[in-house]
Amino acid sequence: MDFLKLRNAFSSARRDLAGMRKQLGDIETEREYLKTSSPTREELVEHAFRHLEGLASDYPQCVAEQLSHYMKNPLDPVRPEAHDDGTPSVVPIITATRHTTVLPGPKTLERAILYLLGEQIKPRLREAIMTMPLSGPEGPPMSKRIARFTAVNAQIADLKAQIAEAERILAGAETPALAGSQDG
């Protein structure tokens, strides 16, 4: 076999391997971008609205529980909203909690406000999200991002396997060639 052709074949194989490594680096960079880039602003709005609606959703049940307990126990001196002399105060409608033994807090007030004023809050919340700075570049929509992320992971696995195979073949083929060239 012509030594020049063999050397050119090895050089070509090494260039191909370097190209595959560069391609792997580029695809891994894309995967990192897909993994860490910000959701779209519209997706952030949708997420915030779902959170708002989730917090507000059990408020009617909390109010019903408060009124039910009050109707059954109007003179209950253990109630946190009772006056010092034991006479009941106003039923806590705005700060209704899930359990009658829990004192109202920021989350109960938030739940009530979101239930009672949620539709009025949404436009301002959207405006705030649309104008706020993002933690990084806005990425593709999640519906497309998940599919691309899956495809990129498959490409990475395939390229890593190809690189490992090419390295194994080159290492096995070059070792005897180098040993033979040193003898001459």
pLDDT tens, position by position, 71-125: 777 776 555 555 555 555 555 666 665 555 556 555 678 888 889 999 999 999 9
172 pLDDT band (50/70/90 cuts)?
confident
22 and 54 within one domain: no
The answer to whether residue 171 scores a pLDDT higher than 90 is no
Q: What is the value of pTM for the model shown?
A: 0.64
Q: How many CB atoms lie within 10 A of CB 178?
A: 10
The answer to whether residue 183 scores a pLDDT higher than 50 is no
- What are phi and psi for residue 123, nearest 5 degrees? -60, -40
Contact yes or no for 114/55 (Cβ under 8 A): yes
171 and 87 within one domain: no
6 pLDDT band (50/70/90 cuts)?
confident
Please choose, from the candidates 6, 47, 35, the residue with its C-alpha nearest in 3D space to the C-alpha of residue 156. 35
Q: How far is CA 164 from CA 99, 157, 167, 169, 171, in A?
A: 61, 11, 5, 9, 10
**What's the total number of domains in the chain?**
2
Domain that holds residue 131: 40-137
84 and 30 within one domain: no
The answer to whether residue 143 scores a pLDDT higher than 70 is yes
**Cα–Cα distance for residue pair 149/95, rounded to 1 Å:** 44
129 and 66 within one domain: yes
Token representation of residue 93: 């409608």
Structure confidence at residue 170 (pLDDT): 85
Contact yes or no for 107/94 (Cβ under 8 A): no
Structure confidence at residue 107 (pLDDT): 66
78 and 23 within one domain: no
